Amino acid sequence: MDPSTPVLFELGASHHTAPLAVREKIALDDARAADLAARLRSTAGIREFAMVNTCNRVELYGVAQDPAVIAAMRETFCAVTGCTLTELDSALTLRQNHDAIAHLFSVASGLDSQIVGETEILGQVKQAYDGALERKWTGPVLNRVFQKTFQAAKHIRTNTAIGAGQISIATVAVDLAGRIFGQLGDTKVLVVGAGEIGLKTVQAFQSRGAKSITVASRTLAKAEEAAAAAGGWAMSLAELPEAVAASDVIASSTSAPGFVLTRDLIAAAMRHRPARPLFLIDLALPRDVDPAAAQMSNVFLYNLDDLAKIAESNLAQREAEVAKCRAIVAERTAQLWPAVAHSLNHQG
Amino acid sequence: MLSFITDRSLLWVGALLYLAGFVTGLIGLTRRQFPGRLRKTLNTLLVIGWLCQWGGLYLRGMDVKGCPLGNTFEIVQFVAWSAMLLYFFVGTAFRVSLLGLFTAGYAGSLAVLSLLIKHWDLVRGQKLFGENPWIEAHAAIAVFSYGVFGLLALTSIMHLLQTWSLKHKKLDGIFWFLPSIVQLDQINFRLILLGVLLLTVSLGVGASWWVRDTNSVHLPKLIVTVGVWFCYLVVLLLRWRGRLVSVRFAWVCLIMFWLALLSLGPVNSNRHGYRPVTYLR
């Protein structure tokens, strides 16, 4: 391209290029983001821009009159964040034109995320673009690039298995519950033990629509505290037999040395509910649930090892999909680039 | 001009479209995904296949001037057609992933098998139902209920597969797309309820005519027909009372359907006013 032709660029840092300490320094809170935007708007050579600002990345997408303007922007970054040029130089990467588009596609599709295939990033990119559009920071080039980015991300998510399978213990457990109960709205969840992992599991169930939550603990006060945080009911372990019979999902994470949920207790509960499956999630070490319970009809038992293995397998499968996703990114970038180049030429 | 459009040619097209749908679904499985486009393709193939099969059965019905249930070929085609019709209701109402694939394979196999086994369609009875529309309705509803039980057998297989995968922690491949255990339980219960209701209505209609002429039905047919109905009724009642659930219920439904298929032999051997004619095509 002609050196005087405007350039589409991406300048930023992410977990790939910057350690946590540097990312903390360059993170843009609202005030800093406003300061950076004001400076960019007053920079003569910047025609369009949008900022993608998440906990793992700070990236600036824009259209600059020429490459020299982009070089000057490093100093603007320093001025806003208080970093030195040396600190920034090792963290910041600059991508231009075709490469900038391919990078944005990868970011929005979750290919560049710390947890490959995560979906949150697409929402964050959309939010970043909406904000820029509302404030009139974007123009014809970025509008087109971002719209195509959302299409590419949707295409990748629909046509590959990049987002398939959960990769944390709690979400794997919720996923399994979905395969047993379908919709989780009417599912009754019982958490035995008020530990952190149990409560995280509760949160994961709540995020998928579970409404009925009960927390059982050896000390009622602890159970009440945890139940209040989770918006559920509290009970003591003495009431466990009735609660087990009434529950669909039981996540147990006590520090008891023996089995809290014995085979006999579960068998007695199943006699009251033979047609309704029971999903037992044993998150404790040593285990809380008698492994013999897994032999019973309509009872599904998963322990920490089982959940971890599924999470690892899902992650491996996601990573195996990356090559296919990259090929789609390359294809879509090649399709979009001529139109963007044309637009940039006309701007020049 | 359109002489190539015969009942059998349409039935062939229908059967091949079902199998094409099955292959489409398998492709989705090998990719560990079932995108909307693939699902649409599968359902389009099944709908067109079903319409072709309907057209074939309609032409056959026009030809024989009655309900096309005159020989094993026609009965098997009708069972496959009924199962597909039910899938359109069940699959849409419950959004049951993978049921389309299973139904396509099942209906396609039945339809192709009946087309390949020539002697199933060599002869058929004439005026099988004594030109009595009630007896005709009795037969059609009974065969339709077999379609329901066929679909129940498929959802029972899915239930067994899902339970096995969850129990053995093998969650990939085909298991990825199976509906939830609770969803399959609900579908199974509704299907057995529907099947038993249909068979009860069919037997009720048949019985109201049988009492007027008790010699019109041979004893083996009577015993087998009532036996199949009674067994399904007992299974339904046990399921309703929570005495036969989960995997055992699924196994019983599978075995019952196999027995019901076997019962077609004795049922088919007894035809009212049976006058076989060669039906070469």
Exposed / middle / buried, residue A123 (Cβ in 10 Å: 0-12, 13-18, 19+): exposed
User: For an interface test with A, which of B246, B248, B249, B252 has the most A Cβ atoms less than 10 Å from its Cβ?
Assistant: B246
Task: List, for residues B83-127, the tens digit of each pLDDT value.
Answer: 999 888 877 666 666 788 888 999 999 999 999 998 888 766 665
* DSSP letters for A254-276: ---SS-SB-HHHHHHHHHH-TTS
| Closest chain B C-alpha to A233 CA, distance in angstroms | 25
Spatial separation of the C-alpha atoms in residues B65 and A62, rounded to whole Å: 75
Quick check: is A55 catalytic?
Answer: yes
The CA R_g of chain B, rounded to the nearest whole Å, is: 19
Residues in A closer than 8 angstroms to B33, CB to CB, are: 159-161, 164
> Please, what is the average pLDDT of chain B?
84
Spatial separation of the C-alpha atoms in residues B224 and B137, rounded to whole Å: 19
User: For an interface test with A, which of B27, B30, B33 has the most A Cβ atoms less than 10 Å from its Cβ?
Assistant: B33
If pLDDT is split at 50, 70 and 90, which confidence band does B129 have? low
Task: List, for residues A159-206, the tens digit of each pLDDT value.
Answer: 888 887 777 888 899 999 999 999 899 999 999 988 788 888 888 899
Residue B128 in contact with residue B274, Cβ under 8 Å? yes
- The more confidently predicted of residues B84 and A72 is B84
Of B32, B171, B246, the CB nearest to A298: B246
| Closest chain B C-alpha to A181 CA, distance in angstroms | 5
Task: Give yes or no for B183 touching A (CB within 8 A).
Answer: yes
Tell me what pLDDT residue A142 has.
96
Mark out chain A residues that contact chain B at CB-CB < 8 A: 158-161, 164, 176, 178-182, 274-277, 294, 297-298, 300, 302, 306, 309-310, 313, 317
If pLDDT is split at 50, 70 and 90, which confidence band does B274 have? very low
Q: CA-nearest residue of chain B to A313?
A: B172
Of A178, A274, A310, the CB nearest to B245: A274
Q: Which one-letter amino acid corresponds to residue B187? A: I
Residues in A closer than 8 angstroms to B239, CB to CB, are: 275
Beta strand ranges found along A277-335 (DSSP E): 278-282, 299-303
The CA R_g of chain A, rounded to the nearest whole Å, is: 26
Q: Name the residue ranges covered by the structural domains of chain B.
A: 7-278
Tell me what pLDDT residue A188 has.
94
Task: List, for residues A120-156, the tens digit of each pLDDT value.
Answer: 899 999 999 999 999 999 999 999 999 999 999 999 9
Tell me what pLDDT residue B89 has.
83
